[in-house]
Structure 1
Amino acid sequence: MFASILRRSSVATILLALGTTALSADESVTEGPRANPALQRFIQDLATLNPDVLAAGAALDASGALRDAAARPLYNPELSAEAERSSDDARTVGISQTLDWAGKRQARSQAAEHERLLAESRYQLALWSFSTDLLTRLAAHQTARERDQLAAAAERAMTEFAALAERRFAAGDLNQVDLSLARLAATDAHIQRATRTGDLAAATQAVRALAVDAPPASWPQLRTPPALTQTGETAQTLVRGLPEVRVAQRQIELADARVTVQRKAQRPDPTLTLRAGEQADESLVGLSLSIPLFVRNRYDNEVRAALAVRNEAQFSADAVLRRAYARLESARERYQLLRGAWDVWERSGQPSLTLQTEQLRQLWEAGEMSAADYLVQLRQTIEVQDNAFALRLALWEGWLEWLRASGRIDDWLSLDTMATRR
């Protein structure tokens, strides 16, 4: 009964094209050990302009300057002059120098170097966070765009189907129930398209927030991520190379260095003073030594506070390390599950979708399927295709989580840390 409708409709043709090309045009080639060069350049170029990365780089530069400052001598010499008008007319000139007897300069220099190393780890953490965030938003945008395309195709198909149903109803070849069903299907398709278009606008805005100077036409396409490969690296090696773990370790080292600084501060530094002058036509030369007495304040509380901060850093680092191990194992399991589901889709789901679309077309052409059955199965076909898009987005999110948890995002993107600071 509906053979003439189908011959003039693009429903089956559109869905057949979506089922065979939408997920395989760019995704048939998987990512290799490295991301594609266009994606690498895109991330690298935007990282050089990102405010968070630039702020972390400025903090690193400041820590380097403070490290150089801490390496300078702790005390400057002091020049003094004294004149006395009396019967003896005394005039003297002196120079004094406080000696770094306790090695405070070295302790401060080491603490400043640990500050610089901490800033360096924080800079890498900012770079990784930006890269992961941008890739996640790109994956969400690509999925939103493809879902919008699917919704647009379904909207065109349902609108044409409803129009043809109106004509068939006017000719007496279609009953009121099937006509109402066709109208509802078209209305639902309009709603779905509006929803998907809104989702696409939100996803586009999310990418633009990080890629301010890059137009959407320049955004690279993401391919299907690869399967996990076995390496000789242990979980301990992977976790201890993570920026957040290094930050936690640097904080312990910095806290240790500050404890040393506070303990050095408990030791007084002597001051030597050399004076020379004249008094009553006689030459005077004098040498004096002064040492502060830490009697009223022995600076014990500062040491206790530094030790407490050190313990806090240690406990925090232990917590970070535990979370990193758990995250690594969870990311591996999640990605393997998602990858297995995607492999099943590529092997059987996508070919079955194509076959289903062809069978629906043939049955409708032969008049062996009612309008209600056709629309129900058509919607199921669209839903399966949409679920496949969602699965691939989850696959990308799982891949990025694995890269982040295993510390391999640097290698995969070939990020040049120095290039992002130029």
Structure 2
Amino acid sequence: MGQPNTSNTDQLITILGQAMISNPDILAAEAAIKITQAQLEGARLPLNNPELEFETERAEGNSYTIGVKQTLDWHDKQGSYLEVAQTRLNAAQQALMALKLRKASELLDAIGNISTQKRINELAKRRSETLSRFVLLAEKRHSVGDISIAELELARLSRAEAIMQQVKSGVDLIKANSAFFALSGVQLPGNISLPARLELKQQRAIDDETTIRNHPNVQAAHNMAQVVRQKIRLVDQERKADPTFGLSTGRTGNENLVSLSVSIPLQIRNNFQNDVDAARAESLQSDHEAQVMYRNSFARLQAARARYKLIDGTWMMWMSLGEASLQQSLILLEKQWQAGETNTTDYLLQMKQSLETSIAGAELQGERWSAWIEWLSASAYLNDWLYGATKEQ
């Protein structure tokens, strides 16, 4: 992967860090991890506490007994609870990583949208200013009879259209800033700029299957499927009865008593086999869902890479043409119009095409950034790209 400009990257890291700290979805996911950690600690403790019994009786002779009962975890249910709790924790941690990846991608995509809309707004403003100046020149030429009233009105109409487009681009910029604020809770600094270098490192061989298997989304789905598989054994153990042993001592009249008791529930009327069958069906469902997540993630990765390469190739072609050449052509076109070599209609048409091409170039740059972020999200290499430049310092 390409390395971003360090100053730009530091700025992006700061913005993302501030947004992530206060994001309610991330805070909820972190709370979920604390819940599973507490459940894991609880699973390490014995399942059954001892019971203390005391009995006294007043009759012909006073009697009393005191004893202790303890239910034993005969089938190692605690081990199954511990296994499930650990896997749940792993799933929650992977889910948090996946959520952070998604939120970071959304924020970077929103930043790219703001940058694109800002550039489009600048171009629209430049177009309005150019046409306003052109109308003044057209009015002067009309006053001396060089152009007709129809050409002058066409110029004024083009200026009005340019002003409306500038207003629209301003509204789109406001919407883009609002969308970023909704995601982050902060306003984007006005001096933010996007890294220019986004190319892939050709020397790094990418194994798509390994990449997808290690993706947090796939890992979280795999761990949840594993939790459900482990619950089959747990449910099967839960339906098995554990024995309870009791030891008591006491005195009846002048005689001392010591007794030992054993009780085992009889699973005759209901052996709870249906719970095991339900757990197996749920496990099969989770396995299928994990497979769907893998396939979707694999397809997303390949589509994201193909999309980025396609857009990047078009972008490189656009850069080879250069926006500067468009500006030079506009200057030349205006000189030709003032010299009477080009009529007003052709001038306005060509100027409109040139500026629309510039706006299309800005939109293409935004699409390139969006495709790049999608590729980084689909491959889970976003952190590698963001922090790569910092680590190499």
Superposed, 1:1-16 pairs within 5 Å as none
Taking the aligned partners of 1:244 and 1:143, their CA distance within structure 2 comes to: 29
AA aligned opposite 2:194: L
Report if aligned partners of 2:97, 2:216 keep a CA contact under 8 Å in 1: yes
Say if 2:366 is the partner of 1:397.
no
Per-residue Cα deviation, 1:84-140 (whole angstroms, up to 9, x for no partner): 111121100111000000000110111111111111111111111110001111101
Structure 2 unpaired stretches of 5+: 389-393
Report if aligned partners of 1:99, 1:270 keep a CA contact under 8 Å in 2: yes
Superposed, 1:257-276 pairs within 5 Å as 257-276=230-249
SS of residue matched to 1:102 = coil
Say if 2:94 is the partner of 1:160.
no
Say if 2:32 is the partner of 1:53.
no
Say if 2:187 is the partner of 1:215.
yes
1:232 deviates by 2.9
Which residue does the alignment assign to 2:273?
300
Which residue does the alignment assign to 2:103?
130
Superposed, 1:142-161 pairs within 5 Å as 142-161=115-134
1:218 deviates by 5.8
Taking the aligned partners of 2:3 and 2:115, their CA distance within structure 1 comes to: 16
Match for residue 178 of structure 1 among 151, 154, 159: 151
Report if aligned partners of 2:20, 2:184 keep a CA contact under 8 Å in 1: no
Taking the aligned partners of 1:93 and 1:255, their CA distance within structure 2 comes to: 43
Superposed, 1:88-127 pairs within 5 Å as 88-127=61-100
Deviant stretches of 4+, over 4 Å = 32-35
Match for residue 187 of structure 1 among 153, 160, 164: 160
Taking the aligned partners of 1:307 and 1:234, their CA distance within structure 2 comes to: 33
Taking the aligned partners of 1:71 and 1:189, their CA distance within structure 2 comes to: 70
Per-residue Cα deviation, 1:286-322 (whole angstroms, up to 9, x for no partner): 1111011111111101101110110001111111111
SS of residue matched to 2:189 = helix
1:192 deviates by 0.6
Report if aligned partners of 1:70, 1:108 keep a CA contact under 8 Å in 2: yes
Taking the aligned partners of 1:82 and 1:58, their CA distance within structure 2 comes to: 46
Report if aligned partners of 1:83, 1:92 keep a CA contact under 8 Å in 2: yes
AA aligned opposite 1:176: I
Report if aligned partners of 2:5, 2:195 keep a CA contact under 8 Å in 1: no
Say if 2:193 is the partner of 1:203.
no
AA aligned opposite 1:146: R
Which residue does the alignment assign to 2:42?
69
AA aligned opposite 2:169: R
AA aligned opposite 2:166: R
Report if aligned partners of 1:100, 1:269 keep a CA contact under 8 Å in 2: yes
AA aligned opposite 1:392: Q
Report if aligned partners of 2:4, 2:385 keep a CA contact under 8 Å in 1: no
How has the CA–CA distance of structure 1 residues 327 and 216 changed in structure 2, closer, same or farther, with 3 Å as cutoff?
closer
Report if aligned partners of 1:110, 1:257 keep a CA contact under 8 Å in 2: yes
Which residue does the alignment assign to 1:282?
255
Which residue does the alignment assign to 2:299?
326
1:219 deviates by 6.6
Match for residue 364 of structure 1 among 328, 333, 337: 337
AA aligned opposite 1:390: E
Taking the aligned partners of 1:300 and 1:139, their CA distance within structure 2 comes to: 56
The normalised TM-score by structure 1 is: 0.87
Structure 1 unpaired stretches of 5+: 1-28, 416-422
SS of residue matched to 2:22 = coil
Taking the aligned partners of 1:173 and 1:295, their CA distance within structure 2 comes to: 108
How has the CA–CA distance of structure 1 residues 171 and 30 changed in structure 2, closer, same or farther, with 3 Å as cutoff?
farther
SS of residue matched to 1:286 = strand
Report if aligned partners of 2:4, 2:386 keep a CA contact under 8 Å in 1: no
Taking the aligned partners of 1:381 and 1:141, their CA distance within structure 2 comes to: 23
Taking the aligned partners of 1:198 and 1:224, their CA distance within structure 2 comes to: 26
Which residue does the alignment assign to 1:44?
17
1:48 deviates by 0.9
- RMSD value, Cα: 1.9
Per-residue Cα deviation, 1:11-58 (whole angstroms, up to 9, x for no partner): xxxxxxxxxxxxxxxxxx972699712211221221111111111111
Which residue does the alignment assign to 1:335?
308
SS of residue matched to 2:256 = strand
How has the CA–CA distance of structure 1 residues 157 and 351 changed in structure 2, closer, same or farther, with 3 Å as cutoff?
closer
1:328 deviates by 1.2
1:365 deviates by 4.6
Report if aligned partners of 1:224, 1:396 keep a CA contact under 8 Å in 2: no
Taking the aligned partners of 1:380 and 1:128, their CA distance within structure 2 comes to: 40
The normalised TM-score by structure 2 is: 0.94
SS of residue matched to 1:36 = helix
Say which is worse superposed, 39-48 or 406-415, in terms of deviation: 406-415
Taking the aligned partners of 1:165 and 1:219, their CA distance within structure 2 comes to: 37
Taking the aligned partners of 2:209 and 2:144, their CA distance within structure 1 comes to: 74
SS of residue matched to 1:80 = strand
